[in-house]
Amino acid sequence: MSWEVVIGLEVHCQINTKTKAFCGCSTAFGAEPNTQTCPVCLGMPGQLPVLNMVAVDKSILTGLAIGAKINLESKFDRKNYFYPDLPKGYQISQFAVPIVEGGYIDIPTKDGEKRLGVTRIHMEEDAGKSMHEGLDAVSHIDLNRSGVPLMEIVSEPDMRSADEAISYLKQLHQVIRFLEVSDADMEKGQFRCDANVSVRHPGEPFGTRTELKNMNSFRFIKQAIEYEVLRQIEVIEDGGKVVQESRLWDSVKNESRSMRSKEEAHDYRYFPEPDLPPLRVSQEEVDAIKAGMPELPGELRKRFEIEFGLSPYDADVLSQTRLLSGWYESLVAAHPADPKRCANWLANELLGRLKEANLDIADSPVSAVALAGLLDRIADNTISGKIAKDVLDFMMSSGKDADAIIEEKGLKQVTDTGAIDAIIKEVMDANPEQVEGYRGGKDKLMGFFVGQVMKASKGQANPGMVNQRLKELLKG
Amino acid sequence: MPFSSLSEIKARLDAGETTAVEVAKLYLDRIAAHNESLNAFVHIDPAHVLAQAEASDKYRSEHDARPLEGLPIAVKDIFCTQDGPTRCCSKILTDFHAPYDAQVITRLKEAGAVLVGKTNMDEFAMGSSNETSAFGPCRNPWNTDAIPGGSSGGSAAAVAAALTPAALGTDTGGSIRQPASLTGITGLKPTYGRVSRRGIIAFASSLDQAGPMTRTVKDTAMITAAISGHDSGDATSVDNASAVDWLGACDATDMKGLKIGRPKEYFVEGMDSEVRASVEAALEKCKELGAEIIDISLPHTEYAVAAYYVIAPSEASANLSRYDSVRYGHRCEDPKDLLDMYTRSRDEGFGTEVKRRILTGAFALSSGYYDAYYLKAQQVRTLIQQDFIKAFEKVDIIATPTSPVTAFKLGEKTDDPLTMYLSDIYTIAVNLAGLPGLSQPCGFANDMPVGLQWIAPAWREDTILSAASAYESATEWATRVPAGFGGES
């Protein structure tokens, strides 16, 4: 009998506000421990939270981008548990009435698009960080992260494979980056995922689920889910029962282990946060946020295909980030004659070189206007595409524009018939046997002659003209 | 002078008849002489008090005097102050020094007040007799075998014995009004949201409110004027609270046209008959002053104490979680692991009553019980609010006894928490409804002071101040002073 996998995901995403959710402390990453704290985020007596409205706006924007309902009145609750990196002994979260409800993410599958439901997005504050390793019988606590605003994005149990789960996460990650509501840097823990996984035979009710906690790489998430699916199937096929529990993925041993069972699960004793009145936003405020929403990756992809005639692949590559798509549009604006050439040169040549140099598009030494200048020289036959690649290398290293490099290095394409004819004659004189052979019907030798002529011209002869003149002169 | 009101001292300072330093020295001497018998103050730093007084005299010599220039005010140990320790009279905050002032402390300082010291209280404001304090009980100046009420017992006793002319307290279920009543002074709990809670150690966040404890109604108005107003650092502080002419409201000398509601649920069997007689006499006096007394009903009154003892402990159970010994406060010796550190530190640091309320609250919020307790209590709270709204359609103000009994003896109720909880039977509903309430002296029963409670609609402290001022001007109760503290004339 076949097995069906059921997956639901909870993503904790750090909202990229300058200050924390309930106090004025900086959220900058990487500061010395406990330097970005104040009495509020340290949980000192009598201190009170004041909500950061930028975090609210960014949560609303995210909700709008996934087609969700925005609750004009939402509420904060206290989630109670003791842990040394949770200074107040409770986390301020939204439990009963979150700011965003409903919504969806579409993912591409081999059978076309599949729509995956998003149950809710709620705001909450992050805890600090505990460090236990390498310390002799003590733990250290860094509360810089305490009170940093998070969105928790909870999906419906709609995914049916690890691949679908990853696809959902990548789409969500991309949307969030596009909206610039989070830097979503997974290595910095700004986009972390819990996965609820169960298996069943198709048509049966949901099986008992386990929760895989706190994963922050697409690769680990995929491995952890696949491992968990096989583990559950094995348990059931061996006549056992899956136990409801939280499990932690060990990316070194490539296996998961039990963290705590349902019986050990916390009773969080949620209740309304009396220090914060209900959060009310007006429809006008929501509409204003909606009006400022950028074009989303899905819309952009479709527009690139239709407007610029790009292949689905190129359209996808160029809509990965808002910065890249914007870069591409600037390039097309500066070189409007050939959007496809723009896409090729950006996606294949420039991005390839940037990747080798370990640079982001934001740090590219070649600007969109400069790259357009190079493409102009290809279009007007000043240089060949092959030479243009060399020119781009020089542009990368020197920061100079294409024209200056072409001039300086004397790379201008030879288009003078007389000059080309002279080179051809030299090559023919040097290779009488091949001339004889070609004239005897060995057409394949054409390639040899083109190669020799291009070599003799140091690549600067216009390849089209070389072809044309060779055919003429080889006739004899 | 010791038993002078704040306004009288202010008049003498303004007239140049005395200085802030002289005033401060007078009260410091009185504290030195009487605090041992009363245990009203748990922290006093005479040098620091004198330094503030000197600074105030200097300020006065160079500028126009501020509203509370040079006036000594003591504050309950629940207010965080940068100067001296802030311990909420709990062992768990042993050696805690706040690196910040509560917003009301900042406002008192900005108004020129001289902060006298920290007064005794029930631990974390949980109690009605000041007997749960980690620094030992405070005593009632009218009879030192009796409790002063709680939780702001230290502030009440200090004002009643004139160890300070005024003090700040906090009121979560009656903690200003009940001790004011039991010590024969005046105390106001403002409308919830009127006074910032920032920097006041939280007991029950949706109920806590700070307010003054003074010798006269006008003194109460002076202090409330200084400490109230919107604070952007407290999301529950209201920024559209209607403006009040605080001092102007105290000019009233009669009650012509005032409709006073007399809720039948507050005059029932079981209350002390002499207390009842005093309050009934006070209402007669109000009639003489021109008021109309109207019988009303607040039908859900009987459920107030039960609802309060679910809501307040629930909030407290979370509010007190931060005292985990990790960052500050008492930590047990040699914890063997994290759980041991938590349980032993908190077991050693909290007193019995605090533990009882944390457990009550955690239970009420726990999975499976939330609907039956917390949610139900919130529904009762709504009904109680509606009772008042309906009543205020008929009357301008409500008058009741503040406490069903006068000050009882130390130790009399400590073994019976339920009876102790009933001490607040007349004050709790006001907190649940978020309304302003004031207690003022209205007579004696069993030789101990009796308090009259005034309750007004939200933001109508002015109605209360006018009624209380008229009553005060027509009676002499506020001028009575306890024997043995140098105030006998």
pLDDT one-digit tens code per residue, B117-128: 999 999 999 999
Of B10, B76, B285, B413, the active-site residue reads B76
Cβ neighbours of residue B127 under 8 Å, at least 6 residues apart? Answer: B133, B150, B151, B353, B420
Residue B489 has pLDDT above 60, yes or no: no
CB proximity B483 to A under 8 Å: no
DSSP strand pairing (A69-70 vs A245-250): unpaired
Q: Give B320's contacts in chain A (Cβ within 8 Å).
A: 89
Lowest-confidence region among A211-225, B86-100, B436-450: A211-225
Q: Which residues of A196-220 are buried (b: 16+ CB within 10 A; e: fewer)?
A: bbbbbeeeeeebbbbbbbebbbbeb
Query: Is the pLDDT at A136 greater than 80, yes or no?
Result: no
Tell me whether B365 touches chain A (CB under 8 Å). Answer: yes
A420: helix, strand or coil: helix
SS (H, E, C) B278-320: HHHHHHHHHHHCCCEEEEECCCCHHHHHHHHHHHHHHHHHHHH
Question: Using CA atoms, how far apart are residues A135 and B208, in angstroms rounded to an integer?
Answer: 42
- Whether B151 sits among the annotated catalytic residues: the reply is yes
How many other CB atoms sit within 10 Å of the CB of residue A137?
A: 5
- pLDDT confidence band for A83 (50 / 70 / 90): very high
Q: How far apart are alpha carbons B162 and B420 in whole angstroms?
A: 27
Contact A48 B234 (CB under 8 A): yes
Size of interface A-B (CB pairs under 8 A): 99
Q: Do B102 and A274 touch (CB under 8 A)?
A: no
Give the pLDDT confidence score for residue B240 in this predicted structure: 72
Alpha carbon distance B159, A354 (integer Å): 76
- The average pLDDT across B400-411 equals 96
Tokens 């199937």 correspond to: A233
Within 8 A by CB and 6+ apart from A15, the residues are A21, A54, A55, A58, A59, A123, A149, A150, A151, A181, A182
- Residues B342, A82: C-beta atoms closer than 8 Å: yes
pLDDT category, B488, cuts 50, 70, 90? low
Tokens of A270: 């949620």
B residues 301..360 contacting A (CB < 8 A) = 314-315, 317-318, 320-322, 324, 326-328, 338, 342
Shortest distance between the Cα of A60 and any Cα of chain B, in A, equals 21
Each residue's pLDDT tens digit, B276-317 = 999 999 999 999 999 999 999 999 999 999 999 999 999 999
Angstrom distance (rounded) from CA A97 to CA A425: 84
| Residue among A42, A88, A275 whose CB faces B321 most closely | A88
The mean per-residue pLDDT over the stretch A333-343 comes to 94
Please indicate whether residue B91 is annotated as part of the active site: no
The residue type at B14: D
Give the pLDDT band (50/70/90) at residue A423: confident
Average pLDDT over residues B366-379: 95
Residue of A nearest to B342 (CA): A82
Nearest CA in chain B to A270: B365
- pLDDT value for B242: 67
* Closest residue in B to A51 (Cα–Cα): B235
Domain covering B6-262+393-479: architecture: Alpha-Beta Complex (3.90)
Please state whether beta strands B437-445 and B448-455 pair in parallel, antiparallel, or not at all (unpaired): antiparallel
The reply to whether B367 belongs to the active site is: no
Q: Domain coordinates of chain B in residue numbers?
A: 6-262+393-479
**Domains observed in chain A:** 4-286 (no CATH), 295-409 (no CATH), 417-474 (1.10.10.410)
- Which residues in A have their CB inside 8 Å of a CB on B? 39, 42-51, 78, 80, 82, 84, 87-90, 141, 267, 269-271, 274-277
Contacts of A128 in chain B (CB under 8 A): none
Mean pLDDT of A50-66: 98
In 3D space, the residue among B357, B459, B486 whose CA is nearest the CA of residue B417 turns out to be B357
pLDDT average, residue stretch A449-455: 87
CB-facing half-sphere around the CA of A37: CA atoms within 13 A: 21
Residues of B in contact with A87 (CB under 8 A): 322, 326-327
Model confidence over B127-171: pLDDT tens digits? 999 999 999 999 999 999 999 999 999 999 999 999 999 999 999
Pick among B337, B367, B375, B381 to test the A interface (most A CBs inside 10 A): B367
Q: Could you say which of A88, A271, A277 has the minimum Cβ distance to residue B365?
A: A271
| Chain A CB contacts of B360 below 8 Å | none
Contact A89 B322 (CB under 8 A): yes
Q: Active-site residue among B128, B129, B151, B317? A: B151
**B208 compared with A443, residue with greater pLDDT:** B208
Cα angle for residues A136, A137, A141 (degrees, 5° grid): 90
Given a contact cutoff of 8 angstroms between Cβ atoms, the answer to whether B450 and B393 are in contact is: no
Interface check for B238 against chain A (CB to CB < 8 A): the answer is: no
The residue in chain A having the minimum alpha-carbon distance to the alpha carbon of residue B104 is: A46
